[in-house]
Amino acid sequence: MNKIVFAVSLSLVISSNAFSYRLNKVAEAGARWQSFPVAMKINPTNSGLSAEEIMRVLNLSMDKWNAGTEVNILSGTLDYNAQAAAAMDVDGVNIIAFSANFREDSNGFDPKSAVAIGGQYGNGSAMSDAFIIFNAEVVGWNTDTSKSAVEKSYSDDLQTIMMHESGHVLGLGHSDLTTAAMSASRQTQVIRELTSDDVTGAKYLISTGPSGAGAPYGSAESGYGSTERRGSSSSIGGCGAINTNGSTGNGSTGAAGAMMLLPMLVLVFLRKKLTVTNN
């Protein structure tokens, strides 16, 4: 009996550790988008691609998230008034833009080394003001991977990057799974499909938001014991990813940690109980 309980609990622990997604700082602090879709205004100026091509690829990227989660969570509209210079303003407007003056528009980044910045603000329980700014000074985009790289010092696959940045807009951090769209250490240049890890992370954010119906993907709060807080405000400094073990490096699970914790507790509880019973 003891062995059966141990085996069942062990399999629960192993199966519950399948997800590696993490939440970003704002989501980890409890903020969620209050309604969907998150509407992005897209300005293709300076991208080096036509507006049609930009809109095609960006909408394709967002549709991957919509299809994966079966919720219309992201949408994009062409808007030439959405300026890169205003992308990081706290004004209720969500902007995707390509900057030809990245140092100024990114408010302090070195234009020689930065490729893109993206994220959103959080105010209490609500997310707002998502932004994605691409550095058009150094980055050129491939939308057809069969063609050779464009003539910029850095080139990347636009759909891969957009799927990744869209995940950040939704509230995801980096995943430890190297095949995930949200991986920070992807092994291939092109990832144009979401993994179940990405989708589960997004569904978790939806289900724990105001339009969600509970938290079927695990409780975000219960698993986190190491969130670093600064001063008296609720802002979270330092580590952008959630760790259940206090480290900031590799290996620990993120939101999935909560799911891992429960079977482990069951295991400990049952083993204790059996020991008492056997005695």
Binding site for other proteins (CB under 8 A): 24-29, 31, 86, 88-91, 103-104, 106-110, 112-124, 127, 138, 149, 153-156, 161, 165, 168, 171, 173-174, 183-187, 189, 230-231, 233-241, 248-250
120 vs 208 by CB, closer to other proteins: 120
Smallest CA-to-CA distance from 69 within 190, 186, 174, 211 is with 211
Cα 55 from Cα 78, distance rounded (Å): 7
Q: Which amino acid is at 188?
A: T
Q: How far is the CB of 140 from other proteins (least distance, A)?
A: 12
Q: Tokens 């622990």 appear where?
A: 13
77 vs 248 by CB, closer to other proteins: 248
Q: How far is the CB of 265 from other proteins (least distance, A)?
A: 29
Structure tokens at 151: 């003539």
Smallest CA-to-CA distance from 25 within 104, 129, 127, 131 is with 127
Q: How far is the CB of 10 from other proteins (least distance, A)?
A: 30
214 vs 249 by CB, closer to other proteins: 249
Cα 276 from Cα 47, distance rounded (Å): 68
153 vs 279 by CB, closer to other proteins: 153
Beta-carbon contacts of residue 226 (< 8 Å; ≥ 6 apart): 243, 244, 245, 246
140 vs 266 by CB, closer to other proteins: 140
Cα 64 from Cα 160, distance rounded (Å): 11
Smallest CA-to-CA distance from 76 within 52, 105, 99 is with 52
Helix or strand (DSSP H, E) at 39: strand 38-43
Cα 37 from Cα 57, distance rounded (Å): 18
Q: How far is the CB of 276 from other proteins (least distance, A)?
A: 44
Beta-carbon contacts of residue 117 (< 8 Å; ≥ 6 apart): 106, 109, 131, 132, 133
What's CA 275's distance to the chain center, in Å?
43
Q: How far is the CB of 256 from other proteins (least distance, A)?
A: 17
2 vs 123 by CB, closer to other proteins: 123
11 vs 188 by CB, closer to other proteins: 188
Q: How far is the CB of 184 from other proteins (least distance, A)?
A: 4
Q: How far is the CB of 99 from other proteins (least distance, A)?
A: 14
